[in-house]
Structures are given as C-alpha cells and as structure tokens.
Structure 1
Amino acid sequence: MNSNEIRAVYDSRSITVYQAYSKAIALPAIQHNRFVPPFSMYRMTWIKPSFLWLMERSNWGRKSGQEMILAIRMTRQGWEEALSQAVLTAYDPSVYRSYDEWATQFEQARVHVQWDPERSLRGKSLPINSIQVGLSRFIIEQYVHEWTVEIRDATPLVRKISTLLQEGKEAKAKALLPGERVYPLLQPLARRIGMRSEHIL
C-alpha cells in the first residue's frame, strides 16, 4: 500500500500550496495579493502542496483555464485548521468505524481530502500518495481573508522547467524544482486524514 504523505515547501509559520487558474482569476489575485472576483467564494476550491502533482494535473499550465500557476503561501495554523475539519473523499476502514459513518460525515464536510499518486518530473506515478484539499464554500472565506499570506505567480518558473524538460535538460529542470519535504502532523490529525507515514509526531 502506498504511503500517504504531505510533501510541501514550508517554514515555521507557513506552507505553500498551488492552484492553476485562467488569467482572468490569476492576474487580479497576484495584483491584490488576495483572491478577488471573478474568483468564486461559492464553489469548492482545491489546493495542493505538491508542485509536480499539479504540473501533471494542469499539463504544465497548458490546459484550458489552467494557464497560470499560483503559489499561495498560507498559515500553517490555517492549513491544520482545514485538515482538522476534513473528511476523506473515499471510505477508509482504518479511519471510519463504518461506511455509513463516513457517508454521513462526507455529506456534511466543510473540507475534503483526497490522496493521489505523487508524480515524477516526467509525470510517472510514484509509490507515494500526495494530498489535495478541497475547501467548501463554508470555509473559503477563511482561506481568502485569514489564512492567505502571499500569492505569487509561479508561471514563469513552470515555463522554464517545462522548456528544459522538452530540451532534454532533466538535471537542470530538476534543480529548479521547489524544495519540498515531508510535513509532519500530530497523531490525531494524521489519523483523521488517513496519513500513513513515519513523519507522524
């Protein structure tokens, strides 16, 4: 079974997550250092701390509506607050006492957590699962107004790494990747989100 690990760029106060958006949403967010309309507060938004997972998902910012990659630095307090309210998107018997218990919690969840295979530089699935976190409309305002510290345009970096890969310069591309490491969690929180890793405090 794959281990479930949160791999991220983080420091003592913040963690960086990534989102891919159209220019219509991304450019005002960068300008205001905050999500503003046409960003919607009324639909679920997914944040991912794994850079390469999002590169695979957005095809290095080439998919329609995902042309710009944002690096959002948010407070660790906010990140862990979101995880403390999370319910897995799939039933896991090691986390929930019964399928019905999970289904009831899932219907009422303010935050969703999903684990998907981490990716290599070339997009190959790895035997480690990375986290993506879905913030519902009931918690997005906290993300936007309280937890977000900085919104940075990571698109130039994405383009540079992608170009190096296309040119076969894999070592140079790898050297530019964000320096992610495993994010540690306390046991109760790790268990809630089905985290399986030796990095549990």
Structure 2
Amino acid sequence: MQLVTEPYLTQVNRWPKTGRHILAQYDDQLIVVYQAYRPAIGNFAAKHGYFGSEFSFDRMSWIETNFLWMMYCSGWGTETGQEVVLAIWIKRLAFDEILAKAVHSSYVPELYPDKSVWQRELKQSQIRLQWDPDHHPSGVKLERRAIQLGLRGQFLAAYARDWIANIEDILDFV
C-alpha cells in the first residue's frame, strides 16, 4: 500500500479539535482523496487508473480528503454499493482549482453578498463544498468539520480521466 499511515492515537493529538479543516495526505504535487464504490466501478478504476465502465458522468460524485469521514460514510467498506474503498492521488493544482471554484452547499453570509447570489452561484456551479461532522473511529461525531467536494460536468470528467496520478484499492487496509 502506498498510503503513509500512522496510529490514530498519535495523529489525533496534532489535529484541531473544532472548526473546519482539510485533513489530508498531500505534498506539493499530489493530494489523496477517498471514494467508495460498488465493485464494478471501484475495481475498474483501481485496475485502469481512471474512472470508466459503469461510472456515471451524469451525476455528482463526492470526494473526501478525510480518511475517517470516508470510513464513516462507507461503513468501513461494508455499506452496499461502497464495498471497494479507493485512495486516489490527484494533482494538487487540480485540487486547488476545485477548492477555488467550489460553492458551499449551504448559505454562508460571510462569503456571499446575499442569499440570491449564493443560490444563483450554487445552481450554476459544477463543484459543491460541504463541511460535515468529522468522526471518531468508533463513529461518534466530533466538533471538527470535514470537507466533502461534489464534482459534476466538466470538472467530474477532468477528475475522472486527467487529474488522477494513481488509484489504489485500500479495502484490505480498511
């Protein structure tokens, strides 16, 4: 496995307890995001290094940088349709572009002049940003928030084919 791992009890002491944070494995070139899929999609992606076959380009696809959030969402790879857990290394410049163009799923008065502007931007956006409760390995919600990014349209197509440097099925580790 190519992921760099460290015991949870070692890492958690360095992490902020509250607030919105992007917890991720990254360097100047790449960042790891996580997704979980049914075998037909996940196995194809892990084998070929891109998304194709039964992957749908007609819907929004969500990526997470936070391993524990992905484990919570996928039931540690046991939820139906999420049996293949993938670590996906994408280009850091692409991730930065995703963040720059993301529109929050919920209205944030500090970021948008008024609610109608936010609604218009949200409707037109191909990238959604959500801050959801992070989770302890046991599944308990934490005060810290984890980022999720939803991609569709041209951004989903670029992510699925052009921005990926590596895909690894990490279910055995999970």
Q: TM-score, normalised by structure 2?
A: 0.87
For structure 1, which runs of at least 5 residues remain unmatched after alignment? 159-201
1:121 aligns with 2:140: no
- Deviation string 1:63-113 (CA, Å, 9 cap, x unpaired) is 110011000000110001111111000001111111111101000011000
Which structure has the greater CA radius of gyration?
1
Q: Which runs of 4+ in 1 moved over 4 A?
A: none
1:130 deviates by 0.7
Residue 52 of structure 1, aligned match among 60, 68, 81: 68
Aligned equivalents of 1:53 and 1:73: distance in 2? 17
1:80 aligns with 2:101: no
For structure 2, which runs of at least 5 residues remain unmatched after alignment? 1-17
Aligned equivalents of 1:14 and 1:27: distance in 2? 22
Aligned-residue RMSD, C-alpha:
0.9
Aligned equivalents of 1:127 and 1:144: distance in 2? 32
**Residue of structure 2 equivalent to 1:112:** 128
Aligned equivalents of 2:66 and 2:140: distance in 1? 14
**Structure 1 residue identity aligned to 2:129:** V
Aligned equivalents of 1:67 and 1:146: distance in 2? 25
* Match runs of 1:20-31 below 5 Å: 20-31=36-47
Residue 4 of structure 1, aligned match among 20, 43, 62: 20
Aligned residues with identical type, % of pairs: 38
**Residue of structure 2 equivalent to 1:99:** 115
**Structure 1 residue identity aligned to 2:48:** H
